[in-house]
Amino acid sequence: MDTGFPDADARDDFSRARRRQVLARLGARLRGQPGDIDVILPFDEVVAALGRIGERQLGLEVVELDSIVGTVERAGEFDRRFRPTSARSRERFQQIAAAERRGESFPPIDVYRVGDAHFVRDGHHRVAVARARGRQVIEASVTEILTQTGAGADLRVTDLPVKSHERLLWERVPLPQEERGRIRLRAPGDHGLLAEGVEAWGFRRMQAEGVLLDRPTVARRWLAEEYEPVVTMLGDAGLIPDPRWETEAYLRLAGERYQLLRTHAWDATVVAAFRRRRK
């Protein structure tokens, strides 16, 4: 409980935040959760993986604290929920906490927005104090970073290799943004395999039609003429175990199709061969 003395209560704020970080880390280990589940996201690595294409100033906004999961330069001082990871930040944290308890005001923090995630440029301790005191939102000056591949606030450090391969996939297979959400792959190497498959499909179409198609056209036609009909056919045949990962089923079965029948066609013969192989 608060004592009413700002300096003493600020010291308690820090102690509680530090204790929560230690207990959260211990709890994650005991539950067998991934080691990076509470690791703060490093801005430069995230943007490199997603592929920066531009930026724009959005001005002052009210930002949800749960969406602030990264940092530009203080990766070692706080965890993902901006709890202090050591005593190094104690003095500055307590100064801000005490000043806030005395009713002093602070300027907005400064953040980068990447997808649904925010990365602090200036104001790390203000975010830490706000979270420690149970607040839900904070005022921020927002600069949006536009990237080739999007990111949610649930992005983790171990997701970055997959995101990097995903970015390369969209460079080779530039589907419209609204169509990309259904193409989901978990293994980094599968993105390259899919890109090669789409490019091969496009090459065969150009040979058959005697025309030159650019990458966006190949991507759109592949989705409409190859991917969607095949996924529908495989789903009807019960060959997609989990609809969330239909792309993985498509990719795996497309590879097996060619190994089994040496064909690029999709018909009842292919489905029958899949069934026999799965038995």
Note the pLDDT tens digit of each residue in 179-200: 998 899 988 889 999 999 999 9
Q: Residue 40 has which token pair? A: 């703060």
Boundary-marking domain end, from 155, 183, 211: 155
Residue 167 inside a domain? The answer is: no
Residue 79 inside a domain? The answer is: yes
Is the pLDDT at 82 greater than 90? The verdict is yes
The overall average pLDDT reported for the chain is 89
**5-9, 107-111, 157-161, 241-245: which is most confident:** 107-111
Is the pLDDT at 266 greater than 90? The verdict is no
Per-residue pLDDT, 29: 80
Residue 121 inside a domain? The answer is: yes
Is the pLDDT at 152 greater than 70? The verdict is yes
d(CA 78, CA 58) in angstroms, rounded, equals: 26
Residue 134 inside a domain? The answer is: yes
Q: Residue 13 — pLDDT band, cuts 50, 70, 90? A: very high
| 258 and 134 both lie in a single domain | no
SS3 208: helix
| 216 and 268 both lie in a single domain | yes
Residue 165 inside a domain? The answer is: no
Per-residue pLDDT, 237: 85
* The length of the chain, given as a count of residues: 279
d(CA 56, CA 215) in angstroms, rounded, equals: 27
Residue 105 inside a domain? The answer is: yes
Is the pLDDT at 267 greater than 70? The verdict is no
Beta strands, E only, the chain: 41-42, 52-64, 68-71, 109-114, 117-122, 137-147
| 64 and 29 both lie in a single domain | yes
Is the pLDDT at 8 greater than 60? The verdict is yes
Q: What is the mean pLDDT of residues 89-106?
A: 94
Beta-carbon count within 10 A of 187 CB = 12
Is the pLDDT at 263 greater than 60? The verdict is no
Q: Which domain holds residue 80?
A: 6-155
Residue 140 inside a domain? The answer is: yes
Q: What is the mean pLDDT of residues 91-120?
A: 95
Amino acid at 120: V
Q: Residue 151 has which token pair? A: 């990111």
Q: What is the mean pLDDT of residues 160-173?
A: 92
| 75 and 116 both lie in a single domain | yes
Residue 114 inside a domain? The answer is: yes
| 206 and 263 both lie in a single domain | yes
| 116 and 70 both lie in a single domain | yes
| 50 and 184 both lie in a single domain | no
SS3 214: coil
Per-residue pLDDT, 274: 63
pTM: 0.78
